[in-house]
C-alpha cells in the first residue's frame, strides 16, 4: 500500500474480491485481520462489532459515543442515527457572534430535556433522551427515502437546529407533508413515531436472535483509556461509569431490559409485534426477570 495511490486502492479492492494474496486475509474483515496480527493490532483497531469506523472523535462527544454503541446496525456511516443536530459547539458560535442563538439553544434544551447540558457535546446529562429523538427522526427519514441532511434546507425549524444546535424535532410538518405528497395518505406524528420504534425493535430482534446483548453495545475501549493528546479538548476521555449509566437511561426510555440491553416481551407486544416476541421466546432470547430501573 502506498499512501495516496489510487492504483494501490483499486488493486487492493480486486485482490480482496478475488481473495488473492494479502486480499484473502483482508476479505474476512478488519477484526479478523487484527486477531491474526495479534493483541496489539486489535487494541489499536477502532471498530463497531467488526465494522470500521469513520473519523469520529468520541472522547469529547459522549452522545456520539452512545449513538455508535447502541446502533443495531453497527453502521460505520457517520449519518446513521448519531447525535448531530442535537449538540452544538458554543466556542465556535460565540466566535461568529451567535449569542442570541446560543441562549435560545440552551433554553430549548432545558425545556425539552430538563437540562442545558444536553446540548454540550462532552456532558452526559440528557444525551439518552436526545439519542431517542435522533434515532426516531433518522429512521423516519430512512423510511421516507429522505436524506436528513437535505430536509433542514427546506425546513426552517430543522435548518436552525442544523446551524445552531437546537434540539431536533422528531417529526415536523414538512415530514408529514412529504409523506402525504408521496403516498397520498394523511398520517399522524404518533403513527410515524410508532413505526420508527417498530423498525428499531425489529433490528434489535435480529441481533437478539444472533446472540447480541448489552456487552456488544460498546464504544471504543481506547477512548476510555487514552485522553485526547492535544488541541482545545486536550485531556478529555470517556468516563466508563457515566457512559454505562447513560446506556441505562437509554434502555429505560426504549422499554428495554437494562441487564441485557434488549427489548422485553411487553415492549414487542405493545408495538404489535407479538409474533416477533414469540419467535424469540422459543429461542430463549427474551430477557428473563428483567429490570427497567435496577441501575438507575
Instruction: Give yes or no for a contact between 239 and 124, defined as CB atoms under 8 angstroms apart.
Output: yes
For residues 136 and 195, state if they share a domain. yes
Residue 205's domain comprises 58-254
- Residue 116: inside a domain: yes
Q: What is the pLDDT of residues 7-18, one digit of tens each?
A: 999 999 999 999
In a domain, 80, yes or no: yes
The whole-number pLDDT of residue 187 equals 87
pLDDT digits (tens, 9 = 90+) for 126-149: 999 988 988 888 888 888 887 766
Q: Say what the pLDDT of residue 159 is.
A: 47
pLDDT of 266: 95
CA quadruple 291, 65, 223, 87: dihedral positive or negative?
negative
- 144 shares its domain with 31: no
Q: How far, in Å, CA of 221 to CA of 78, rounded?
A: 19
H or E element in which residue 47 lies: strand 47-48
Q: How far apart are CA 113 and CA 104, in angstroms?
A: 14
Q: Report pTM.
A: 0.85
Q: Do 101 and 211 reside in the same domain of the chain?
A: yes
Q: What pLDDT, in 10s, does the model give residues 208-258?
A: 999 999 999 988 888 999 999 999 889 999 999 999 999 999 999 999 999
Same domain for 94 and 220: yes
The domain total for the chain is 2
Domain shared by 35 and 170, yes or no: no
Contact 66, 127 (CB under 8 A): yes
Amino acid at each position: 500500500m502506498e499512501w495516496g495511490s489510487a492504483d494501490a486502492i483499486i488493486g487492493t479492492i480486486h485482490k480482496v474480491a478475488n481473495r488473492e494474496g494479502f486480499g484473502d486475509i483482508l476479505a474476512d474483515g478488519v477484526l479478523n485481520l487484527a486477531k491474526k496480527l495479534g493483541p496489539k493490532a486489535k487494541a489499536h483497531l477502532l471498530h463497531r462489532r467488526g465494522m470500521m469506523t469513520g473519523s469520529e472523535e468520541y472522547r469529547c462527544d459522549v452522545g456520539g459515543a452512545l449513538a455508535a454503541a447502541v446502533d443495531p446496525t453497527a453502521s460505520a456511516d457517520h449519518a446513521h442515527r448519531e447525535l448531530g443536530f442535537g449538540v452544538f459547539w458554543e466556542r465556535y458560535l460565540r466566535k461568529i457572534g451567535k449569542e442570541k442563538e446560543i441562549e435560545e439553544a440552551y433554553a430549548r434544551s432545558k425545556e425539552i430535556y430538563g437540562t442545558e447540558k444536553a446540548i454540550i457535546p462532552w456532558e452526559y446529562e440528557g444525551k439518552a433522551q436526545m439519542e431517542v429523538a435522533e434515532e426516531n427522526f433518522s429512521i423516519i427519514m430512512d423510511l421516507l427515502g429522505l436524506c436528513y441532511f437535505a430536509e433542514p434546507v427546506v425546513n426552517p425549524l430543522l435548518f436552525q437546529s442544523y446551524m445552531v444546535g437546537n434540539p431536533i424535532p422528531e417529526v415536523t410538518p414538512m415530514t408529514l407533508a412529504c409523506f402525504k405528497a408521496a403516498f397520498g395518505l394523511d398520517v399522524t406524528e404518533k403513527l410515524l413515531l410508532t413505526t420508527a420504534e417498530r423498525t428499531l425493535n425489529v433490528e434489535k430482534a435480529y441481533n437478539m436472535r444472533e446472540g447480541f446483548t448489552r456487552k456488544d453495545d460498546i464504544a471504543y475501549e481506547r477512548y476510555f483509556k487514552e485522553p485526547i493528546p492535544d488541541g482545545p479538548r486536550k485531556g478529555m476521555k470517556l468516563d466508563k461509569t457515566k457512559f454505562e449509566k447513560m446506556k441505562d437511561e437509554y434502555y429505560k426510555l426504549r422499554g428495554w431490559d437494562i441487564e441485557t440491553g434488549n427489548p422485553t416481551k411487553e415492549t414487542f407486544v405493545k408495538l404489535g409485534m407479538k409474533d416477533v416476541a414469540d419467535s424469540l421466546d422459543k429461542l430463549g432470547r427474551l430477557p428473563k426477570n428483567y429490570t427497567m430501573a435496577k441501575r438507575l
